[in-house]
Amino acid sequence: MTLKSLLLILLSLAVFKLSAQIQISESSTARYVFSWDLENYEITAQNSEPHVEIFFPGANTVLGEDGEAEIPGYSILLGVPPEGEIKVNFNSESVKTVALEKPLLKHKNPAEKRQPHIRFKNPWICEPVYSTLQGMRTAHLIIRPFVYDEKTNTVKVLQKASCTIEFPSKPVSRHSSVSSSERKPILSSVVDNFTIAQQWYAGRKLSKVSQNTFPLAPGQKTYRFRIGDGVTGFKEMTTEENGILLIPG
């Protein structure tokens, strides 16, 4: 996922928290369970325009590429364990077919592919897109409550559905170099299960000892060494990563 796409996701999720369409029945380290109930939506048509548009309260993204219909969607961002794949079981329970007066509005001439990472195997929800935000691994999902058929000029509307997302049962724990207090201001506002997800990223405090004088005698045999956790990256070999204040000499 590109940085630009990620920033757009964060901005949309920061503005729109869980809407009335989503009702969470369970949020734990084992699973995330919710129901979908789309009570209100609008299909609007201006007399002077050759197309119609769809809108529903709580929509926080727009699906579709160049030449495809603009479909409003609903984004969900979940914190997930450091490793392993989540399992998404999405069941449509009530679907209505609506005939449109005019074709749906289409995207026109974007500078680049809008959402190259989005794939739909299930027609109603995309495959998980994984990324890492402030040391926390996340999975991005988008519910697509409208499926448009251009040939018949009809749209299928997902009115009711249920979804169970299962997390890996035995995640491989690892230390995150970002403390929970540092990640909370941003992630708590965009990650729907932030409180639960923090349990997979418990911070670890390292004891730090300051040594003002060089502890070794002149001429004493010494060894060169490196300290790290085996993970290379921006903070490798820093005081924040390893808890070392100063080793003179």
Q: Where are the domains of the chain?
A: 3-200
Q: How far is CA 205 from the centre of its chain?
A: 27
The reply to whether CATH 3.30.70.1380 applies to domain 3-200 is no
CA 73 to CA 59: how far, in whole Å?
A: 6
Segment (H or E) for 210: none
Q: CB 85: neighbour CB atoms within 10 A?
A: 13
122: helix, coil or strand? Answer: strand
Whole-prediction pTM value? 0.71
* Cβ proximity of 206 and 227 under 8 Å: no
Q: What pLDDT does residue 12 have? A: 44
Tokens (6 digits) for 60: 């926080």
The helix (H) or strand (E) run that includes residue 190 is helix 180-190
- Euclidean distance between CA atoms 195 and 217, whole angstroms: 51
Q: Kind and range of the H or E element at 241? A: helix 239-242
| Alpha-carbon span 56 to 37, nearest angstrom | 12
Q: Are 184 and 123 in contact (CB under 8 A)?
A: no
Out of 43-47, 156-160, 189-193, 208-212, least confident range: 208-212
User: Do residues 157 and 96 lie in contact, with contact meaning Cβ atoms separated by under 8 Å?
Assistant: yes
Q: Which among 3-7, 17-21, 142-146, 169-173 has the top mean pLDDT? A: 142-146
Strands (E), the chain: 22-27, 31-37, 42-45, 52-55, 61-63, 71-79, 87-99, 129-133, 136-143, 146-149, 154-166
Rounded to whole angstroms, the Cα distance separating 214 from 139 reads 48
Q: Lowest mean pLDDT of 27-31, 152-156, 185-189, name the range.
A: 185-189
In which element (H, E) is residue 48 found? none
Give dist(CA 1, CA 190) in Å, integer: 17
Lowest mean pLDDT among 115-129, 170-184, 212-226: 170-184
